[in-house]
Structure 1
């Protein structure tokens, strides 16, 4: 790995501020501009709001920069919350077998709950909690975006912490690092490249749900928060094609800016955490990071922050003498406590299911419940057909890109744009095409479900190819392995864990997007496909909470069934047989 030379300060120099240079002026202007914009957007989030108050959305293109600022701010707040939750629960699940048995199935259940389901449940609570304030709807929207981001990040971090190499663990023990120090010095750095990659995917994927998060419509109440999502919703409702073109151009600019200002510097910074050395030409570059490296004032401030961070990381608890109770440490007693714990968990689950069953079927007939299960089967068929087609298309392309780091750096922002591009903008085009050509709605709305999630497969395949050790590349080249044997013996086994992760995430996203893809609107045109997503969307619009709960429960049950029958065995196979370096 190429080592950048950085100026360091002696103990006496730290007490003196350095003389700023011209690069400091540019960096300071950029930082002040970002702080002013974020402060302006945050201030607008705490205004007055009463239930029933009409929030108007202007379709003027001049309002788009302001709406983009509000949307990006919500997404960044949701991403920060997702990172915090990931560190806590991802680490807990990786370190504790008992916690893993609860957290991972719970994540499986929660990621199967559609975003509209979370909104239907939480929006009233947030409005009541922040009565008379805009913070109520804002928190509901941020929480909905958070639910579209966090599950993928938790699973990624959990997988990385579990797979920390043994030599790093031994180094931690040799240096007598505490659990706190080991977390920040070993586990987080090792997981950082994968976590950052998945954070980018989550950020991009959550743009698809921005319309549902900002244009909140529950029980005949519509709340339009200022943002890109509400702008798209109003433009589609009014069939305003000029507004859609304006928002497409805005999306180009917004995605480019947050890629250059946020993710590109983070990717370049995370290069130092890679286990393998890389050539200087293959390292990710960032003009913004290079700008700050040329400054004096910001390098000095970074050194001060680094000293504070070192104290934070190296803090040690005072050793306390703990009296051990012999009878509590007995194996039989521990098994008894574990058994009681799981009996309590089972009792709580059974109680919650019985309450949910009573709530649903007190007003819904059992025949309708069977019909909703059939609707779930229709949506599941669409999901798996589309996942298979996506693998056939994107696995070869992803392998080709991953084998060439320079091509990967060029393709990354392009693919990130298409991943972040709200598929909702293409729905009107598809709706008009279906109506004009008299096509079958149940077939031709299906591709809309995979437009925003197929990129999970591509990104994970690229990451898998780039993670293959160089010595394996050299060995395969030396043995002159070519053709199908190269795919069957080298590439596919090497990328298999990443491919399975991408397929699981893409399938979960497709289930979620089915709610907006199976019901397509453009002005007075209203197309509805036969499927579980359309059922949940229609019941949410009507405010029929028992049927909303039925739809969400059936969707979660289908997702869990496939997780434990198909995805979990494949994931375990990937861990046991296809781990590189084992």
Structure 2
């Protein structure tokens, strides 16, 4: 029992560290993209692809570079935190980017008038604009991190590194046949995660969005929030002080501004060049191996990618439909019950289910998986849905419902618009931006889920349902980085094409046209 508690502390520490890294990364990248159109043009499509890449896609970086370059267990822990960050950071980045991008243009005039420095602008204007977005998106990021905590610990630990964590301990218990310990570990995990929702994340979301959730705010109000504020203010003061001293030094040396800017750009160019050299070396290194890949290998990748694409499209559609129905039920509970208890209960149930890591659904539902020819496909669908629905769930039930104002409700009452007519003409159109954002996030989450939905090793039993996720698992297990790289290239190309043609070219274009005032 005590060893499970210790393992939980390790995992919880990794999760909070990955969350902090995600927030800092999101602020830097989100603000940079929003304020620099060149960075926006380069980074936005790259991040669109990266948010859909499964955690296995980042495994070579975690194992070949981080875990090996850093000494001992430090490299191992950093590798696990890095993998967790890839499951948490994306929606926070896009949230910060959208918030800063939507700032009033007069802010730019203020910055120029008062000649505010970079650090001053970042900490006093841009980061403040992104705070609410960070709070609102933390719920989804926290769920995304726990969804892959077990996978991250097991994959890095599979290299003989001895990673201690609640996820790896639970899987170990099931594999060894200690089902009592498996159940106890699962209960400890779920209870502790739900506690973080109730004591930290729900109060944060309620403060950011104004939507009431099931929460106990004392820990957030008295500990978490003041600690975060003190830390952030201290960092801001240090950076602004350093910037002021640097500016004073430059002025005292009478160095022209163009030389300072040129030096800064020169340093940036050197860093970019070094990164490009390393990337080129990797490409050349892999290029020799990729030439050896046969046409058959490419055809196998194409066919398996098509299989997963069909599954992902189906699951995303089902998850959005289910979420819209639940959102409508929540809306009715709020309007006709004159209180949000029904909505709070629905969100809390979602948080409980979202607390179960993806990989644990296979041992939990192992009886169904090995019962009949369709059992494995049923469990795979549940795993896919578990990794997909929460992105649309939280986006629509929290952000979508907040977009339905009292005026819309009063309008429907005055004109007696009810039932399917209200759903089609008022409810869904009002939530369309949140539905589109939730569907896009669910799309990325579903592709991520393919690595645990399409392939699973339970003791001596191997479940292989085909698909690109299954291939990624097999290549990673065999340390076949040549085929793993080729699969990731194929995967990225497919994701990029669909994101550009369908999501950006069709879905969001229609949403923006509908909500643009001529």
TM-score grouping bracket, smaller chain normalisation = 0.7 to 0.9
* 1:569 counterpart = 2:509: no
For 2:294, the equivalent position in structure 1 comes to 365
- CA positional deviation for 1:455: 1.0
Separation (CA, whole Å) in 1 of partners of 2:289 and 2:174: 33
- CA positional deviation for 1:120: 2.4
Report the RMSD for the aligned CA atoms in angstroms. Answer: 4.0
Q: Is the 8 A contact 1:454 1:506 kept in 2?
A: yes
* 1:247 counterpart = 2:185: yes
Matches within 5 A, 1:108-119: 108-119=48-59
Counterpart pick for 2:328 among 399, 405, 422: 399
Separation (CA, whole Å) in 2 of partners of 1:491 and 1:88: 36
Q: Is the 8 A contact 2:455 2:473 kept in 1?
A: yes
SS in 1 for 2:370: helix
- CA positional deviation for 1:227: 0.4
Q: Is the 8 A contact 1:496 1:574 kept in 2?
A: no
- CA positional deviation for 1:322: 9.7
For 1:226, the equivalent position in structure 2 comes to 164
* 1:378 counterpart = 2:307: yes
Counterpart pick for 1:94 among 29, 34, 46: 34
For 1:426, the equivalent position in structure 2 comes to 361
SS in 2 for 1:363: coil
Residues 272-327 of structure 1: per-residue CA shift (max 9 Å, x gap): xx6xxx9xx8997613356679xxxx99x9998898688679878569799799xx
- After superposition, the Cα gap between the structure-2 partners of 1:156 and 1:571, relative to the gap in structure 1 and judged at 3 Å, is farther
Separation (CA, whole Å) in 1 of partners of 2:311 and 2:295: 25
- CA positional deviation for 1:459: 0.7
SS in 1 for 2:51: helix
Separation (CA, whole Å) in 2 of partners of 1:287 and 1:163: 32
For 2:348, the equivalent position in structure 1 comes to 413
Counterpart pick for 2:458 among 506, 513, 522: 522
Identify which range, 185-194 or 417-426, moves more after superposition: 185-194
Separation (CA, whole Å) in 2 of partners of 1:265 and 1:447: 29
- After superposition, the Cα gap between the structure-2 partners of 1:261 and 1:444, relative to the gap in structure 1 and judged at 3 Å, is closer
For 1:389, the equivalent position in structure 2 comes to 318
SS in 2 for 1:530: coil
Separation (CA, whole Å) in 1 of partners of 2:164 and 2:355: 19
Q: Is the 8 A contact 2:214 2:344 kept in 1?
A: no
Separation (CA, whole Å) in 2 of partners of 1:68 and 1:292: 21
* 1:498 counterpart = 2:453: no
Question: Mind listing any 5+ residue stretches in structure 1 that lack a counterpart?
Answer: 1-60, 329-343
Q: Is the 8 A contact 1:205 1:420 kept in 2?
A: no
Q: Is the 8 A contact 1:402 1:465 kept in 2?
A: yes
Residues 183-233 of structure 1: per-residue CA shift (max 9 Å, x gap): 545544443333222222111112121122111259x83333110121123
Q: Is the 8 A contact 1:520 1:526 kept in 2?
A: yes
* 1:556 counterpart = 2:492: yes
SS in 1 for 2:324: helix
Residues 410-434 of structure 1: per-residue CA shift (max 9 Å, x gap): 4433322211211322212444323
- CA positional deviation for 1:242: 1.7
Q: Is the 8 A contact 1:64 1:247 kept in 2?
A: yes
SS in 1 for 2:462: strand
Separation (CA, whole Å) in 1 of partners of 2:67 and 2:235: 37
SS in 2 for 1:437: coil
- After superposition, the Cα gap between the structure-2 partners of 1:348 and 1:527, relative to the gap in structure 1 and judged at 3 Å, is same
For 1:200, the equivalent position in structure 2 comes to 139
For 1:453, the equivalent position in structure 2 comes to 388
For 2:24, the equivalent position in structure 1 comes to 84
For 1:69, the equivalent position in structure 2 comes to 9
Q: Is the 8 A contact 2:190 2:355 kept in 1?
A: no
SS in 1 for 2:161: strand
- CA positional deviation for 1:99: 0.7
Separation (CA, whole Å) in 2 of partners of 1:306 and 1:88: 14
Identify which range, 184-193 or 150-159, moves more after superposition: 184-193
- CA positional deviation for 1:80: 0.4
- CA positional deviation for 1:86: 0.4
- CA positional deviation for 1:94: 1.1
- CA positional deviation for 1:71: 0.2
SS in 1 for 2:374: coil
Q: Is the 8 A contact 1:456 1:506 kept in 2?
A: yes
Rg: which structure is higher? 1
Separation (CA, whole Å) in 2 of partners of 1:500 and 1:425: 29
SS in 1 for 2:88: helix
Separation (CA, whole Å) in 2 of partners of 1:188 and 1:311: 14
For 1:466, the equivalent position in structure 2 comes to 402
Separation (CA, whole Å) in 1 of partners of 2:325 and 2:87: 28
* 1:509 counterpart = 2:445: yes
Identify which range, 241-250 or 109-118, moves more after superposition: 109-118
Q: Is the 8 A contact 1:148 1:202 kept in 2?
A: yes
Separation (CA, whole Å) in 1 of partners of 2:42 and 2:420: 42
For 1:288, the equivalent position in structure 2 comes to 219
> Taking structure 1 as the reference length, what is the TM-score of the superposition?
0.74
- CA positional deviation for 1:66: 0.6
- After superposition, the Cα gap between the structure-2 partners of 1:196 and 1:408, relative to the gap in structure 1 and judged at 3 Å, is farther
> Aligned pairs, how many?
493
- CA positional deviation for 1:513: 1.5
- Bigger fraction of residues in helix: 2
SS in 1 for 2:466: coil
- After superposition, the Cα gap between the structure-2 partners of 1:438 and 1:471, relative to the gap in structure 1 and judged at 3 Å, is closer
Separation (CA, whole Å) in 1 of partners of 2:296 and 2:240: 61
Separation (CA, whole Å) in 2 of partners of 1:497 and 1:388: 16
- After superposition, the Cα gap between the structure-2 partners of 1:366 and 1:407, relative to the gap in structure 1 and judged at 3 Å, is same
- After superposition, the Cα gap between the structure-2 partners of 1:526 and 1:309, relative to the gap in structure 1 and judged at 3 Å, is closer
Q: Is the 8 A contact 1:149 1:203 kept in 2?
A: yes
